[in-house]
Structure 1
Amino acid sequence: MLQPDREFLIKLAHTKMPYGKYKDRDLIDLPEYYVVWYHSKGFPKGKLGEMLETVYTLKLNGLEQIIKNIKRNFPKK
């Protein structure tokens, strides 16, 4: 996985799940089992898939707080 750029991380911090059981929940706040399920099933194509893959990597490494800090320090425009 390439290192995400600053704008990507800021956008990730403010992106909500657009559909399904967790619709309107911040991606970073999705339950770990749900993100792991997506990892095994295959992430969707496009930007959402990239963001979910990043969330998976962050959760796998216990780094969710990075996105939560970004969300707090860079309010949605």
Structure 2
Amino acid sequence: MNPENLKKLVEVQMPFGKYKGRFIADLPGNYLNWFAAKGFPEGSLGQLLALMHELDHNGLKYLLEPLRKKES
């Protein structure tokens, strides 16, 4: 896991779909589960979504809180 990708989760917004404009870190678990079942997009967006899915699925979203505070 690239630590820089954790920071991107609180900086990068979803570029399309129902949650367009929402930060990747703020996407709901059921949406991430849907991508996991259907397949993540290619490229860096897919990698970020897959990482967020793992964090959400394993109850590790709290790891992003210190990164959010730095952005404020």
> What is aligned with 2:49?
52
Q: Which runs of 5+ in 1 are unaligned?
A: none
> What is aligned with 2:33?
36
Q: In structure 2, how many angstroms separate the alpha carbons of the residues matched to 1:31 and 1:6?
A: 22
RMSD of Structure 2 on Structure 1 (CA): 1.4
Q: 2:49 aligns to what SS in structure 1?
A: helix
Q: In structure 1, how many angstroms separate the alpha carbons of the residues matched to 2:39 and 2:16?
A: 16
* 2:63 matches 1:66: yes
Whether contact under 8 Å (1:13, 1:68) holds in the other structure is: no
Counting aligned pairs with the same residue, the percent is 39
Q: 1:23 aligns with which of 12, 20, 23?
A: 20
Whether contact under 8 Å (1:35, 1:52) holds in the other structure is: yes
Deviations 1:6-33 (A, max 9, x none): 2221122211111111001111111111
Question: May I ask how many residue pairs the two structures share in their alignment?
Answer: 72
Q: In structure 2, how many angstroms separate the alpha carbons of the residues matched to 1:52 and 1:71?
A: 17
1:59: Cα distance to partner? 0.3
Q: In structure 2, how many angstroms separate the alpha carbons of the residues matched to 1:31 and 1:8?
A: 18
Q: 1 or 2 for the larger relative contact order (CA 8 Å, sep ≥6)?
A: 1
Amino acid corresponding to residue 15 of structure 1 in structure 2: V
